[in-house]
Structure formats: structure tokens, C-alpha cells
Amino acid sequence: MSRHLVKEILTDITNRITVEEGKKNGQGIPAVLRKKKVCVLFTGYGEPLDQILLELKKIKRYGYQLMIVLSKEVERNMGIDFFRKGVYPQQIITEGDQEYLMTLMEEMDMLLMPTPSQNVAAKLKQGIQDSLESVLLWKALWDGKPVWTDGQRMRLLHGKQSMNPILTKIVEENILFLKESGIQFIGEQGYMKEIIAFSSGEAQSGAEVLNPIPEFEGKQVITEKDVLNVVGKADRIAISKESIITPLAKDTAKAKKIKLIRT
């Protein structure tokens, strides 16, 4: 390793310590580290979750920060490591940390509920807030934050459709109520495209459009060459928390208007 590179690395370590100290002292986080925060709530696991986790990883590549919330049942049966290794989210919160979760929800920009239940739809319609799922959903809607879920899953019980027309009618009425409450139901294109389309709509009002980003997960040192390699291909780079960004790489990214985002 050259002396010049060692110097850059040491300088970057000093800068990162300064940022962390700034956070402790209540100072603002540099804009380059900010991105939209998505709360992803899992309260069921009846079907394979691999496809959902794959979609969440794609959402991360668009510059979103993921916070996964697990009910006690999901935590007990699937385990925290399943989600940590499957997505590498910014944070995983369990039902036992519900008070802390309420504080973090203030910072969330949107809520995803990939595994909804018929129960939560019925509770929301009656204004009942007695479970993790109903509390978070109610709060997100109360605060006017966008919420996405899968309406088709609500039409099934243990993977089966109802043979009782009266019960089917109740379920459909509850789903209609959720739509009227502002909940958005994903189509065949999935969560990622729905969210990107939503963000693009925001951009028309002056918000930022989130473009696909290359990832350097596992790369220990991000250099100027790494930044130059994405010029003209993307406007941001996803970098692991543990990676070191050399000062020259930072200067080049700033000059080329490329954002460096920790994942």
C-alpha cells in the first residue's frame, strides 16, 4: 500500500470520527449520508419470503434506507439473522422494542407491509390499535405517510380463498376501506417499481428522483478510480458501513456530482 493511500485512509478515519462525534453532540448528519427511510413490517411468514427479500435488496440499490420490524412470532420462527443476512438492513427492530420503534417511526418516510393479515384490516376499520401491525399502520396513516401492502394476501387464509360469500364480502369491504384510507396496493410490478413511481411523482414537485446505484459492499477502500468508473452510469454509489472512502474519492465524487451513500 502506497504512502499516499495510507495518508488518505488515515485522513478519512479522522473525518468519520468527526461525523460520529457530531451525531453524539446533536449536530446534523452530512447531506451525503441522508436518504429516504423505509419501515418494512413483517408479521407473518406463511409463504416463502425469498422473493420479498430480493425486492428489498433492489430497493436499497435505489438509495433507500431500510428498517425492518419483526413481530414476536416472526422473530421466534424465522430469526433475526434470516433478515439480516437476506437484506443487510440499516436496522432490525423487534416487537419488544415497541416504545423505541414509535420514536423511530417519526423519522420514517414510508411503510411497507409485505405480509398483511385479514385481522389488521378489520381492526383498522374499527379504529382498534392493540397489536404491532395495527399500531404502526394506524400511526403511518395518521401522520400522512405512504403505505404499501399486498391486497391479494388479505384475500387468502392459510393460502386458500373463502368458499363463504358472506365472509368474502366482509374481506372485500375491509380492503376497500384500506384503499379509501390511503393504503396503496402493489400490482404485479411489485414494491420496487411502485415506490420508484411514487418518488418520481414527488420529483415533479421538486423532490429528488432516486436512480439505480452500483454497490461496493465488501470493498474495504473506495478510491478515486472507483468513483470515476461510475461517472455517466449513476449519480450515487452504495458503500458498506465499514468501507473507507479516501479524501480524493470524496473530492472526485463531489466534482462529478455523485453521492456516496452508506448502506
Domains of the chain: 3-13+212-262 (no CATH), 36-203 (3.40.50.1950)
The pLDDT score that the predictor gives to residue 227 is: 86
The pLDDT score that the predictor gives to residue 215 is: 66
Categorize the per-residue pLDDT at 205 as very low, low, confident or very high, splitting at 50, 70 and 90.
very low
pTM score of the predicted model: 0.64
* Residues 227, 241: Cα–Cα separation, whole Å: 17
**Residues 6+ positions from 89 with CB-CB distance below 8 Å:** 40, 56, 66, 67, 68, 83
- Local structure of 220: helix, strand or coil: coil
Instruction: Examine the pLDDT at 81 and tell me if it is beyond 80.
Output: yes
The pLDDT score that the predictor gives to residue 19 is: 43
